[in-house]
Amino acid sequence: MLAHRYRPRLPSGELAPMAWPLVVYRTLNHIAWPLEADSGRWTVFVDRLLIFMGFLVFCEHNEVDFHYLIANRQDMGNLLTGMPTYLILMEMQIRCYQLAWHKDRFRALLQRFYAKIYVSEEMDPHLFARIQKQMLATRANSTVYLLTLFNFLMVPVTNVIYHRREMLYKQVYPFDNTKLYYFIPLLALNFWVGFIITSMLFGELNVMGEMMMHLNARYIQLGKDLRHSTNVLLEEQSTMDLASRYQLALTQILRRNAVLRDFGERVEEEFSLRIFVMFAFSAGLLCALFFKAFTNPWGNVVYIVWFLAKFMELLALGMLGSILLETTDELGMMYYTSGWEQVVHQSSNVKENVKLMKLMTLAIQLNSKPFFITGLNYFRVTLVAVLKIIQGAFSYFTFLNSMR
């Protein structure tokens, strides 16, 4: 099935370079990653069957995780031990299967991204290097999430050392799951769920980050190309058709601007619901993780690493959202300061000058509102929103800590 999973290509037909978190995401997560557009009916059927079976596994884990919370509802320590895994399971079940329902739309978005938005190193080495620097936070976050998964995967090792039969996560089964013929298959399902959840956590963050930062780079290119067009025209000796030629260059820039805006709206449509779900669960998850890390640091290393991973994920996404918001917020000023007044000053065609000023006014008005990613239009994905979530999580922690 891995050979049938979609692999992005550049306009030239070559395979697009993918960062290692995206490679891991594509390799491990058959639920979220789409198939090739020309996949046969049998391949599509098997893929959908595996997705349905995976959904049943998630439901089974949801049930036994919830039973653990019910069984320990009188013990705050044990309750908060199982709360993070239950919350992340719920969040990932919603996000992962919402994406699975729209895999074809996700593939179309990826195709459009690599065909029209992606900035390759050959195209602009400076911007490409800048994007890679901006994405360092998401790459680091991916590593920390893998460390979190590694901590959970150490449970079988401790089982062998101490002759125990514990699951990877805190669960209560309605039967004796320690019997070997139950324990081994259930432990394997624990492993599978862990790989799906972890790959989804950092994989989707890196996909969103790549799209946002390459879109941001394209907006930066717009400003450079507009200023370059202005300088080239101003250096010419002819002044009669100067305004009309500048109008033509400006029209081309506006068409590219419209393409970028439309792509941004498609990104918003694709990720808005999943971002809302992520942020909705984040405050409670951070609170539970911090409580466990604070009350017993040495005994809860996995929760410390997990808290760090979640904290970094929110900060990285908020930082990238703020960068894109800041760039698009300056688009109107970009057009205004492009040097059009020098073109009008040197042009001797009054009629074309008036048309140029009207077109420039329209360009400024169309870009008066910045573009930003939202969570179902309830909030903007920026550092401000992230800080509010962190403040909320700390308030919950303070309340829980006072009840100890």
User: Using CA atoms, how far apart are residues 63 and 57, in angstroms rounded to an integer?
Assistant: 10
User: Using CA atoms, how far apart are residues 65 and 75, in angstroms rounded to an integer?
Assistant: 15
Q: Tokens 């065609």 correspond to what residue?
A: 349
User: Using CA atoms, how far apart are residues 353 and 350, in angstroms rounded to an integer?
Assistant: 5
pLDDT of residue 399: 81
CA-based diameter of the chain, in Å?
A: 91
- Measured between alpha carbons, how far is residue 222 from residues 48, 131, 252, 256, 330 in Å? 42, 16, 10, 8, 12
Residue ranges per structural domain of the chain: 2-113+142-402
Q: Tokens 């941004």 correspond to what residue?
A: 264
- Measured between alpha carbons, how far is residue 74 from residues 68, 77, 295, 300 in Å? 11, 9, 18, 21
- Measured between alpha carbons, how far is residue 263 from residues 40, 267, 335, 395 in Å? 29, 6, 20, 38
- Measured between alpha carbons, how far is residue 321 from residues 208, 225, 282 in Å? 10, 24, 17
CA angle 46, 49, 54 (to 5 degrees): 125
- Cβ neighbours, 10 Å, residue 47: 21
69-72, long-range: CB within 8 Å, 24+ apart, which pairs? 70/172, 71/172
pTM of whole model > 0.85? yes
pLDDT of residue 368: 86
Partnered with residue 363 across adjacent β-strands are: none
pLDDT of residue 404: 66
pLDDT of residue 238: 67
Q: 393 with 280: CB under 8 angstroms?
A: no
pLDDT of residue 401: 76
Give pLDDT tens digits along the chain (404 positions): 688 899 999 998 899 999 999 999 999 999 999 999 999 999 999 999 999 999 999 999 999 999 999 999 988 888 989 999 999 999 999 999 999 999 999 999 999 999 999 999 999 999 999 999 999 999 999 999 999 999 999 999 999 999 899 999 999 999 999 999 999 999 999 999 999 999 999 999 999 999 999 999 999 999 999 999 888 888 876 666 888 889 999 999 999 999 999 999 999 999 999 999 999 999 999 999 998 888 877 778 899 999 999 999 999 999 999 999 999 999 989 999 888 888 888 888 888 889 989 999 999 998 888 998 999 999 999 999 999 999 999 888 888 777 76
Tell how far CA 244 is from the center of its chain.
42
pLDDT of residue 233: 85
Host H or E run for residue 180: helix 180-234
- At residue 5, the 3 state secondary structure works out as strand
